[in-house]
Chains A and B, each alone.
Chain A
Amino acid sequence: MDLSYTDEQNAFRAEVRAFLQEKLPERLSDKVRLGHELTKEDHEEWHAILNEKGWLAGNWPKEHGGTGWDAVERHIFEEETTQAHAPRIVPFGINMLGPVLQKFGSKEQNEYWLPRILNGDDWWCQGYSEPGAGSDLASLKTEAVRDGDHYIVNGQKTWTTLGQYANMIFCLVRTSKNGKPQEGISFLLIDMDDPGIEVRPIVLIDGGAEVNEVWFKDVKVPVENLVGEENKGWTYAKYLLTHERTNIAGVGFANAALENLKRIARLEMSHGKPLIEDPLFAAKMAQVEIALMAMATTNLRVVSKAAEGQAPGAESSMLKIKGTEIRQEINALTREAVGPYAMPFVSEALEPGSNTEPVGPDYALPMTKTYFNNRKLSIYGGSNEVQKTIISKAILEL
């Protein structure tokens, strides 16, 4: 047992840190740190900076234009970027679609789509969930009917994150109603400029509109946009979900959030003293920090196994649950820390380019919004209940 990183790993960390110091625009890290909304252009700017360095696709092999990093290197990169308040990498093209194409796509699909993802030519979104198909994803109904060289797609997707920015959507669609529901699903790449597609924003509890409903009416999709084989989409989707769950523990995000909480607890005054000196509040913070320290090591245990080539099973479900619980608890404590200034709901002050002054200290305003927004962490990517079902099936050998 050795908890230290190798010399090469430490050197890599130093390299990442130096790069961030030089290349991460302060304008962007300030926005991330203060919880302000990032525009599409902000995301694209950061992607382009990483791409120039060759560091955009941390989980792709070199042959496809990725970094070829192992799990430990990816972990170090995530730790450093979150600590520096870099924007997160928009996951849909890089972390989700990329690996699926590499594993199951045709040579032509890889040659065409992968460079476009890296260069930012396409903005992808994920079209899995439907109003009637959430946890029970296999019950999805959006239908694709073969008609010569095309599929004709009809139906509805929902909760499509950042679909308002996307020009492409990868979808699970029903191509057969025979057999088990899982056996009639296909994986299609759909151009969102098709006139039969309509995107409507969904306003969320925090006042933001990061998700959308997407309607498909007689949308024509060329057959070459089918990934892999018809009716095998479920296998690809499950593969994608395991990739969606890499970094699922969100240790970097949790550490950054904890640091922010401590900073606020030093600035907030309670009974005339910094809140961080209030023994009860300090105890609550300590409790979540202790949990995070242990979880970070659980994460590293899984990460180093993965670096040796072992695929994580129920461990990633475990990390998802613990990781999201810890982040949500940090968010709750941060909301509590700002006291009465958790109440103002002056969203305008957080919008890109706004001149509206925040109410109260500038760090206070986004905290209630973040608390509510991050309720999503335990709902999406397979809800925490679904993850527990996976774990219990594994231990009880059901």
Chain B
Amino acid sequence: MKFDLTEERQMLQDGLRRFMRDSWDKSTREAVLDGDTGYSSEAWQGLAEMGVIGALFTEDDGGFGGAGFDLSVVFEELGRAGATEPLLEVVLAGGLIARRGSDDQKAVLESVIAGETQLAFAHTEPASRYDLDRVSTEATKSGDGFTLSGRKAVVVNGPNADHIVVSARTSGEVADRDGISLFVVKKGAEGMDLRGYRTMAGSHAAEIALDNVQAELLGSEGDAFDDIEWAVARATGALSAEALGLMEACRKLTADYLKQRTQFGKPIGKFQALQFRMADVLIEIEQARSAVINLCGNLDQPRDLRERHVSATKQLIGAVAKLVVEESIQMHGGIGMTEEYDLAHLTRRLTMCDHRLGDTTYHLSRFTRLAAA
């Protein structure tokens, strides 16, 4: 048993931490939160040049990593900086293109890895909440291709995406696993109405209405569910690692503040009431770290084992995130509630992790079902 990172991953972590510290400072954050895209294109280019996007893909797909612990290293550092670059969309949409695409379709990955093409994954619908099988967008055969009609909700990075991977039903009823297919839709496709907006996580997202939009099938027809679950499992590992990084950043700010802030003639960190709570936060973050390891170390296991870890990890992460957010703000007092202070963006982004890929209630209930099976 060994819990150290390999030498390559250690180097990736060190380099990325330095890079993020320099490139995701306060002025970057302010520009991103006020900006039109929800991320920094300089940081994105930098990540591409460092090979960070490539680290999310296997060598076969043109990258040089792609394993669970590559994801966790990258995303923890992203989280630590509070960065909003749309890398999770690469894990989702890019992962699905790599897994299902024809050679022609996979050609786009080279420009994704080079930072030249933006992706999004349009799966969630207004009524699907977190269910992966609840797809009602319809795909109809037309000529060589398909046309899509329906609505997609909260598509993160949707407004920036050059290629959107869209799920739609080619057969079956709303919650059937069979009959779900995946498609690629290009930016500005005719019949696609996209309303972009800011999110609480700092990233931008879109509501997408599809009205007979021309789309290209990705993989074969009707069998996409298993691959969607696979890609979401990997993305859950990544998002959980990002949440862990965000937790560490909140903890550090709070611990530093407790040492600095003086009331009643001493640093507030001298009050045992706060010391014990800081200790609780630390204990729970270590639980979160282990949960991330559990999931990222089991992403290549058979489906049932993998999915048990998906729900176990995401449930625990959601619960710890809530604790860390609420305690960090509370122990700061008024300062913790101001936009100006770093904590605001970090706690918003951390809180939003529970609203993607399933929340604590969803995964607790899913875990009981998977455990019983």
Binding site for B on A (CB under 8 A): 129, 132, 134-136, 139, 158-159, 202-205, 207, 211, 268-272, 278-281, 284, 328, 332, 335-336, 339-346, 359-360, 368, 371-372, 375-376, 378-380, 383-385, 388-389
In addition to A345-B200, A385-B273, 4 A-B residue pairs with Cβ atoms within 8 Å of each other are A271-B131, A342-B200, A345-B198, A368-B348
Report the minimum CB–CB distance from B365 to chain A (whole Å).
5
State whether A368 touches B351 (Cβ < 8 A): yes
Enumerate the 4 nearest inter-chain pairs by beta-carbon distance, A residue then B residue, closest first: A136-B263, A203-B339, A205-B344, A343-B199
Binding site for A on B (CB under 8 A): 124, 126-127, 129-131, 134, 153-154, 174-175, 195, 197-201, 205, 207, 262-265, 271, 273-274, 322, 326, 329-330, 333-334, 336-340, 344, 347-348, 351-352, 354-356, 359-362, 364-365
Report the minimum CB–CB distance from B339 to chain A (whole Å).
4
Report the minimum CB–CB distance from A141 to chain B (whole Å).
13
State whether B355 touches A343 (Cβ < 8 A): yes
A–B Cβ pairs within 8 angstroms, 8 of them? A204-B337, A205-B336, A268-B129, A343-B352, A346-B197, A359-B197, A379-B329, A389-B273
- Give the A-B contact count at a CB cut-off of 8 A: 135
User: Contacting B355 at CB < 8 Å: which of A129, A205, A269, A342?
Assistant: A342
Residues in B whose Cβ lies below 8 Å from that of A388: 273
Report the minimum CB–CB distance from B126 to chain A (whole Å).
7
* Docked pose: A136 CA to B338 CA in angstroms: 20
State whether A343 touches B201 (Cβ < 8 A): yes
State whether A269 touches B127 (Cβ < 8 A): yes
Residues in B whose Cβ lies below 8 Å from that of A359: 195, 197, 207
Report the minimum CB–CB distance from B90 to chain A (whole Å).
19
* Docked pose: A376 CA to B332 CA in angstroms: 11
State whether B264 touches A340 (Cβ < 8 A): no
State whether B200 touches A368 (Cβ < 8 A): yes
* Docked pose: A49 CA to B94 CA in angstroms: 60
User: Contacting B339 at CB < 8 Å: which of A205, A328, A336?
Assistant: A205
State whether B333 touches A135 (Cβ < 8 A): yes
Residues in A whose Cβ lies below 8 Å from that of B347: 205, 372
Report the minimum CB–CB distance from B66 to chain A (whole Å).
27
* Docked pose: A278 CA to B153 CA in angstroms: 22
State whether A343 touches B174 (Cβ < 8 A): no
Residues in B whose Cβ lies below 8 Å from that of A339: 129-130, 355, 359
* Docked pose: A368 CA to B334 CA in angstroms: 18
Closest chain B residue, CB of each to CB of A332? B322
* Docked pose: A269 CA to B153 CA in angstroms: 14
State whether A336 touches B361 (Cβ < 8 A): yes
Residues in B whose Cβ lies below 8 Å from that of A346: 197-198
State whether A345 touches B129 (Cβ < 8 A): no
* Docked pose: A341 CA to B262 CA in angstroms: 40
Residues in B whose Cβ lies below 8 Å from that of A336: 354, 359-361
Determine which residue in B175, B263, B322, B326 has the highest number of CB atoms from chain A within 10 A of its CB, and name it: B263
Report the minimum CB–CB distance from B97 to chain A (whole Å).
23
Closest chain A residue, CB of each to CB of B277? A385
Closest chain A residue, CB of each to CB of B129? A339
- With A205-B338, A375-B330, A375-B337 already in contact, the answer to whether A345 and B197 are too (CB < 8 A) is yes
* Docked pose: A203 CA to B345 CA in angstroms: 12
* Docked pose: A135 CA to B131 CA in angstroms: 46
State whether B348 touches A205 (Cβ < 8 A): yes
State whether B361 touches A340 (Cβ < 8 A): no
State whether A344 touches B339 (Cβ < 8 A): no
Determine which residue in B153, B175, B336 has the highest number of CB atoms from chain A within 10 A of its CB, and name it: B153
State whether A383 touches B205 (Cβ < 8 A): no
Residues in A whose Cβ lies below 8 Å from that of B153: 340-341, 360
Residues in A whose Cβ lies below 8 Å from that of B351: 335, 368, 371-372
State whether A379 touches B330 (Cβ < 8 A): yes
Residues in B whose Cβ lies below 8 Å from that of A345: 197-200
User: Contacting A272 at CB < 8 Å: which of B175, B264, B355?
Assistant: B175
Report the minimum CB–CB distance from A367 to chain B (whole Å).
10
Report the minimum CB–CB distance from A90 to chain B (whole Å).
20
Closest chain A residue, CB of each to CB of B124? A340
* Docked pose: A30 CA to B135 CA in angstroms: 34
State whether B326 touches A375 (Cβ < 8 A): yes
* Docked pose: A385 CA to B274 CA in angstroms: 9
Residues in A whose Cβ lies below 8 Å from that of B274: 385
- With A340-B355, A343-B205, A379-B330 already in contact, the answer to whether A135 and B361 are too (CB < 8 A) is no
Closest chain B residue, CB of each to CB of A358? B197
User: Contacting B352 at CB < 8 Å: which of A136, A342, A389?
Assistant: A342
